[in-house]
Amino acid sequence: MKRRRSLFIHLSHIRLLAQKFALVILFISAFALMLVNKTDTVLIEKTSSAATDIVSPVIDVLVIPAKVVARFYDYFKDLKEIHADNQRLKEENRKLNNLFDRARALEIENKLLADLLNYVTPPEASFVTARVIAEEGDAFSHSIVAYIGGSKVRKGQVALSDKGVVGRVDRMGKMYARIILITDINSKIPVMVEKTRVRGILSGDNTTTPKMIFIPLDAEIAIGDRIVTSGVAGVFPAGLPVGKVVSLDKNEIRIKPFSNLDQLEYIKLVDYGLSGALVDADEGAE
């Protein structure tokens, strides 16, 4: 009985001691667990790094065949594309050779026909570049004044911009020339439709879009058709660009000039050698 009592007292002391140091024991346990966890993380990282160092060279070696196969695939793919391009270029070269042969044949044929008909080639055109210094646009006329600086210019010569016909020389002095624009009410130019060769007269009416008149009733004309000079009457040579069809009615066909006649700065006054058609009235009287 005495022994049991002594054991009970001893256990009571142990329990009281454990209660006193329980907080300290828990803190030490938590700290120990944290150290163990940190130690495991460092160990895992070291193990992972070592494994990467060992496995990476092996992977590089294993990837070499795949890289070689990919390079061969790209090479043969490029080779196939080069072959296709080569075939396309050969076909284009064949077509160009055919066109060249046809052009040479036409050139020879043209020379033979010219010799047969005793065709006389027109003289080379000469021109003077003039600066536009004034505009004379009003309700009754559309014209400009250009500085020619004493250059030889004759009445009736063609006035061109970089895009096409803008008018003709009407009067000139020693230093200046007056040019009637194709929109002027007094301007009449023989023209034709470039595609169908239908002829007519481009008549100005002091608007920005002159009319094409004296056209056959059965003429085939469409909006967008290019209009060029026809060469009829020997005043303007054939083929000079003038404008395009922008309005098409039964009784009225409007042409928009290729050149912006409101923004002319420099023009060319061209002499095409049409001396017989460009004789001034004063020269004829002499």
The whole-number pLDDT of residue 286 equals: 38
**φ and ψ at residue 268, rounded to 5 degrees:** -110, 130
The per-residue pLDDT of the chain, averaged, comes to: 79
Among 71, 88, 121, identify where a domain stops.
121
* Least reliable range by pLDDT among 52-56, 112-116, 136-140: 52-56
Domain assignment present for residue 143? The answer is yes
Residue 3 reports pLDDT greater than 60: no
Instruction: Choose from 110-114, 248-252, 261-265 the range with maximum mean pLDDT.
Output: 261-265
Among 121, 143, 164, identify where a domain stops.
121
Query: pLDDT band for position 211 (50/70/90)?
Result: very high
Among 87, 121, 155, identify where a domain stops.
121
The whole-number pLDDT of residue 184 equals: 94
Residue 281 reports pLDDT greater than 80: no
* Least reliable range by pLDDT among 100-109, 155-164, 192-201, 237-246: 100-109
Are 117 and 171 contained in the same domain?
A: no
Cβ atoms within 10 Å of 158's Cβ, excluding its own: 26
Are 107 and 180 contained in the same domain?
A: no
Are 61 and 92 contained in the same domain?
A: yes
CB 177 within 8 A of CB 157: no
Domain assignment present for residue 34? The answer is yes
The whole-number pLDDT of residue 282 equals: 45
Torsion of CA 208, 180, 167, 223, to 10 degrees: 20
CB 194 within 8 A of CB 229: no
For residues 17 and 82, the model is more confident at 82
For residues 286 and 44, the model is more confident at 44
The whole-number pLDDT of residue 251 equals: 75
For residues 58 and 132, the model is more confident at 132
Query: pLDDT band for position 137 (50/70/90)?
Result: low
Give pLDDT tens digits for 94-132: 888 778 877 877 887 777 777 767 666 566 788 999 999
Domain assignment present for residue 272? The answer is yes
From residue 65, give the alpha-carbon distance in Å to each of 7, 56, 61, 98, 174: 79, 16, 8, 49, 87
Instruction: Give the structural domain span for 96.
Output: 20-121
pTM of the model: 0.56
* Least reliable range by pLDDT among 8-17, 201-210, 273-282: 273-282
- The pLDDT of 207-212, averaged and rounded, is 94
Are 55 and 94 contained in the same domain?
A: yes
Query: pLDDT band for position 93 (50/70/90)?
Result: confident
Are 136 and 264 contained in the same domain?
A: yes
* Least reliable range by pLDDT among 55-69, 162-176, 234-248: 55-69
Domain assignment present for residue 107? The answer is yes
Here the CATH number for the domain that contains residue 221 is 2.40.10.350
- The pLDDT of 225-231, averaged and rounded, is 92
Domain assignment present for residue 11? The answer is no
Give pLDDT tens digits for 4-39: 555 555 556 666 665 666 666 666 766 666 665 555
Instruction: Choose from 9-18, 72-81, 120-129, 200-209 the range with maximum mean pLDDT.
Output: 200-209
The whole-number pLDDT of residue 279 equals: 47
Q: Which of 223, 253, 227, 254 is nearest to 240 (CA)?
A: 227
